Amino acid sequence: MKKISLLSTALLSCLLAGCAGSSQSASNRIPTISANTAYTKPRTLDNFHDYVQFLKGKAAAEGVSIATLNAQNNIRYVEKAVALDRAQAGRIVKRDPNQPPVLNPNGTTNYLNKVLTNNKVNVAEDRYWEVQVPLQRASQRYGVQQEYILALWGMESSFGHYQGRYDVLSALATLAFDGRREALFSKEFVNAMKMLDRDHIQRTKMLGSWAGAMGQTQFMPSAFLNYAADGNGDGVKDIWTNQFDAFASIANYLHTVGWDDKLPWGIEVTLNQPLDLALSGIEKHKARSLREWQAQGVMPLGFSAQEQEKLTALSNVDLWLVRPDKQVGRAFLVSNNFRTLLDWNKSNYFAVSIGMFADRIKERIGL
């Protein structure tokens, strides 16, 4: 009691309220800012802290508590995140609208050679036996075949090994401030604040990739809020360190957006005659049956037992023709499951790599 009586009233109230220091009290008042308000000051580094306060104002407007917002100090500008984001943007070729697009018939093959190596299949086989219990539990509970959960886990974080070590709030604030994709990253910043406000994770453990993708599932904060699941029943959705939770979250995501565990992702096909490119794509109205596609010269490419089994499963469902490299290169007939993979990541290359990885895991393990 004697000790406390020595403290000033101001300091005592500060301790009880958990404030970060009286010198910051002016900036601790966070006015709410509506989601569509634009930041009008110059985006120079000396305004970064001011911009973070602006983002906190948007989070306050969406119901994040002032206590949570004020507790998030040390949100820093991450130069590396901007450099990596610009490098990624630079790889998206900006083409002259008057010139025809450059077609690469080896696009799909080159991508698969890079991400779907024999080594990765070997590791998947080893890991399968180690994680069988959590994997089977998630597979059964959410109705997603084990090989697809394993494939996504393997591709997203190298089986949990690579999750990224960036402070997620800092990465998201930086990329929002940079402005190239401000709407996306400011929304994710607000969602990250909601995760902290709801006690899903402590700030010091909220680590992820330079773009803010977190844990073994590499979920952005919005994906976490929508799809993360508690696989081991301890009341926590820990996609960083718990395999039960990571697998449940992957399977819950796919299940929620329409996965059907009776179906494979699709098959590779060859076109026996030229087909209008407008027939390909995953829009609802472009669906045809296997028989209808075959009548247009779209023929299955593989004859293995696995391909035959897939053909049988796909014989009476909607199928879409996907041509990742446009008029040239490889082609695929895909089920609605492929469309749910595109919900996860809108790249055709990515979805094909997950499907083929799952097929190889299934074959290797004998699932």
User: Given the rule CB under 5 A, which residues bind Ca ion?
Assistant: 230, 232, 234, 236, 245
Minimum distance from residue 61 beta carbon to Ca ion (Å): 31
- Give the nearer residue to Ca ion in terms of CB position, either 130 or 234: 234
Are 212 and 224 a contacting pair, CB within 8 Å? no
Q: Which of 209, 208, 207 is CA-nearest to residue 85? A: 209
Number of helices and strands (H, E) in the chain? 17, 6
Q: Which residues contact 260 (CB under 8 A, 6 or more apart)?
A: 143, 335, 336, 337
Q: Which of 285, 262, 283, 280 is CA-nearest to residue 333? A: 280
- Give the nearer residue to Ca ion in terms of CB position, either 158 or 232: 232
Are 267 and 311 a contacting pair, CB within 8 Å? yes
Minimum distance from residue 194 beta carbon to Ca ion (Å): 19
- Give the nearer residue to Ca ion in terms of CB position, either 49 or 137: 137
Minimum distance from residue 195 beta carbon to Ca ion (Å): 15
Question: Exposure pattern of 95-134 as b/e (b: 16+ CB <10 Å)?
Answer: eeeeeeeeeeeebbeebbeebbeeebbeebeebbeebeeb
Minimum distance from residue 333 beta carbon to Ca ion (Å): 38
- Give the nearer residue to Ca ion in terms of CB position, either 231 or 355: 231
- Give the nearer residue to Ca ion in terms of CB position, either 232 or 294: 232
Minimum distance from residue 245 beta carbon to Ca ion (Å): 4
What is the Cα–Cα distance from 215 to 207, expressed in whole angstroms?
Answer: 7
**Residues β-bridged to residue 28:** none
Both tokens of 158, joined, read 């190298």
Minimum distance from residue 249 beta carbon to Ca ion (Å): 10
- Give the nearer residue to Ca ion in terms of CB position, either 232 or 289: 232
Minimum distance from residue 137 beta carbon to Ca ion (Å): 12
- Give the nearer residue to Ca ion in terms of CB position, either 188 or 245: 245
What is the Cα–Cα distance from 326 to 281, expressed in whole angstroms?
Answer: 10
Q: Would you say the C-alpha torsion 247, 139, 198, 344 has a positive or negative sign?
A: positive
